[in-house]
């Protein structure tokens, strides 16, 4: 057991090195984008991949809470793609900041993964992601959450264990594009919730309206602004990869 853990840590630590980005070309990039679409678009696959998007969403709340010096007391994840992050600390703008950084975060992380793939940091991104997911397990407060986050951590560790530099680049591209699509999909879900005015309590925009008195429509617009910015920031890295001009230097 100790030997296995030692080898795992060696794989993770070896990932903290820059490498050559994947040279996939236009056809390869389109193929990887289609793989990402298969993960994030069809309802059946979304039932699974959407759980990972929820994990990233809740970890966004967690990171925002920690950045504002709040104490995170627990994360709850459910198989219906809902989740809750509970924190304690000073309220006011800190609470609003923490609540905001949920829906946009999968897009931000997706853009970061695409950037890492284009500039040779894919292995680093996967190693950091594996450490974050494993560490977050101590915050989970329900059985479904343990299954969801534990499964995400297991897949992340498998990518680190079995993947080399090239595989890491492909994985970062697929995950990055899929998270960008997933974030857009979740944003549309929020819009539908407010349009139909059902299950409003599940919407961060509704919660932000209650705590700040700023209309939820404005918060939805701000979510869209950040998500659009993440998508736009991914265009150049994707173009570099398509042109075979990604850089490790």
24-43 tens-digit pLDDT:
889 999 999 999 999 999 99
What's 201's DSSP letter? G
Token pair recorded at residue 19: 């490498």
Contacts of 228 (CB under 8 A, 6+ apart): none
- The pLDDT value recorded for residue 95 is 92
Residue 12 domain-assigned (yes or no): no
What pTM did the predictor assign?
A: 0.92
Backbone angles phi, psi at 12, to 5 degrees: -65, -45
Backbone angles phi, psi at 76, to 5 degrees: -115, 130
Residue 14 domain-assigned (yes or no): no
Residue 157 domain-assigned (yes or no): yes
Residue 6 domain-assigned (yes or no): no
Q: Say if residue 243's pLDDT is above 60.
A: yes
Q: Say if residue 244's pLDDT is above 90.
A: no
Residue 180 domain-assigned (yes or no): yes
Query: What is the distance between the alpha carbons of residues 46 and 37, in angstroms, rounded to a whole number?
Result: 10
* Least confident among 17-31, 33-47, 173-187, 230-244: 17-31
What domain range is 40 assigned to? Answer: 25-242
Average pLDDT, the chain: 90
- The pLDDT value recorded for residue 201 is 79
How many domains would you assign to the chain?
Answer: 1
| pLDDT > 70: percent of the chain | 91
Residue 4 domain-assigned (yes or no): no
Residue 7 domain-assigned (yes or no): no
Residue 248 domain-assigned (yes or no): no
With cut-offs at 50, 70 and 90, classify the pLDDT of residue 168. Answer: confident
Query: What is the distance between the alpha carbons of residues 31 and 24, in angstroms, rounded to a whole number?
Result: 9
* Least confident among 14-18, 150-154, 233-237: 14-18
What's 182's DSSP letter? H
- The pLDDT value recorded for residue 136 is 96
């Amino acid at each position: 057991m100790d030997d296995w853990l030692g080898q795992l840590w060696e794989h993770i630590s070896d990932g903290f090195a820059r490498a050559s980005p994947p040279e996939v070309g236009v056809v390869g990039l389109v193929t990887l984008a289609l793989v990402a679409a298969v993960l994030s678009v069809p309802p059946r696959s979304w039932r699974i991949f959407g759980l990972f998007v929820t994990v990233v969403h809740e970890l966004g709340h967690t990171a925002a809470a920690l950045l504002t010096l709040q104490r995170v007391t627990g994360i709850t994840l459910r198989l219906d793609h809902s989740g809750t992050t509970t924190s304690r600390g000073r309220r006011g703008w800190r609470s609003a900041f923490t609540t905001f950084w949920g829906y946009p975060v999968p897009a931000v992380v997706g853009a970061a993964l695409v950037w890492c793939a284009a500039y040779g940091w894919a292995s680093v991104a996967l190693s950091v992601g594996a450490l974050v997911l494993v560490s977050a397990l101590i915050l989970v407060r329900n059985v479904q959450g343990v299954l969801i986050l534990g499964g995400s951590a297991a897949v992340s560790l498998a990518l680190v264990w079995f993947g080399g530099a090239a595989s890491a680049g492909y994985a970062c591209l697929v995950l990055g594009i899929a998270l960008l699509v997933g974030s857009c999909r979740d944003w549309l879900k929020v819009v539908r919730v407010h349009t139909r005015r059902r299950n409003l309590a599940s919407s961060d925009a509704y919660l932000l309206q209650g705590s700040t008195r700023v209309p939820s429509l404005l918060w939805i617009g701000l979510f869209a602004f950040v998500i659009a910015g993440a998508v736009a920031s991914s265009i150049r890295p994707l173009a570099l990869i398509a042109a075979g001009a990604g850089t490790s230097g």
